[in-house]
Structure 1
């Protein structure tokens, strides 16, 4: 699972920064040097996610499958002054939801459907999922229950986690240094 590289902003069409473009090349090199052959790439529809994985996808001629269920979670339709406190509350109470926003449970349910489809696809063994920090932390929490708000705060752009396992026994390992 991959968190996107540095971007110009949070809008869905925000491109990568100059550093983000360099990071996408480093990400590509890292994945190439990893011993797993990638079968599929599934990405958030947001430009920063697509641009983050594009160099690897082009080099290896792997199509980037866009899945709207991987887009970042919306905390609120309105600006939030204390958004860090609100986000922390959402990791404490997975049902917490601001008007027009999405609870952690709602976001996790939507995104985990992608994971379930991947796990049930016997033709794909090594799949890259490209998404956003908040949603990534929630997905990782599903595999390892002690991952939460403090882990989210430590995420980098980009970041990579290897999730491996079978039959409800999974391990989560941060592999991006």
Structure 2
């Protein structure tokens, strides 16, 4: 019996330096109804989200529709790139993908962030075997998790993601069997 994880990259958000409470933008809020409609078709059993408001807002409608609470999981928060704002985001993010063990001051390397995300993913697969689970998360941590199971998912793939985006990963136990993009805001 397959376990399906629906990784949902959050919808568009309003930039604020406060990561935890950054809300969705008007554009992002208009997209979440479409996300909910798509995911409801998938017979979702549980909804999990990282703690950042924009990730929770993106998936909380699905939880309401199945009459369950969003299960908070800190490990699905976005990777910490550095302790403060970086001068050149593209340079900073490219370097951590080129050198997986490298981290900027106060940040997480790809290796560290991936370990955090994968450990939690494996626990979800064990705890909810045979179920359909939505995971509200962020682009970098999502791709780092996907990369662990299939190295075809890397920096170039991350660079092509949309806000929001939904990928269905189907597992037999902890073995990735299939990946399908089930919705994207193109």
Give, in angstroms, the shift of residue 169 of structure 1: 4.0
Q: Secondary structure at the match of 1:120?
A: helix
CA distance in 1 between counterparts of 2:101 and 2:38 reads: 37
- Could you tell me which runs of 5 or more consecutive residues in structure 1 were left unpaired when the two chains were aligned: none
Q: How does 1:59-138 map to 2 (within 5 A)?
A: 59-122=65-128, 125-138=131-144
> Aligned residue pairs: how many?
175
Give, in angstroms, the shift of residue 3 of structure 1: 0.4
Q: Secondary structure at the match of 1:176?
A: strand
- TM-score, L = length of structure 1: 0.92
Residue in 2 aligned with 1:22?
Answer: 30
Give, in angstroms, the shift of residue 165 of structure 1: 2.4
Q: Secondary structure at the match of 2:183?
A: coil
Q: Secondary structure at the match of 1:101?
A: coil
Closer, same or farther in 2 for the Cα pair 1:109/1:84, shift >3 Å? same
When the two chains are superposed, the root-mean-square deviation of aligned CA atoms in Å is 1.5
CA distance in 2 between counterparts of 1:38 and 1:77 reads: 36
Structure richer in strand, relative to its length: 2
- Could you tell me which runs of 5 or more consecutive residues in structure 2 were left unpaired when the two chains were aligned: 1-6
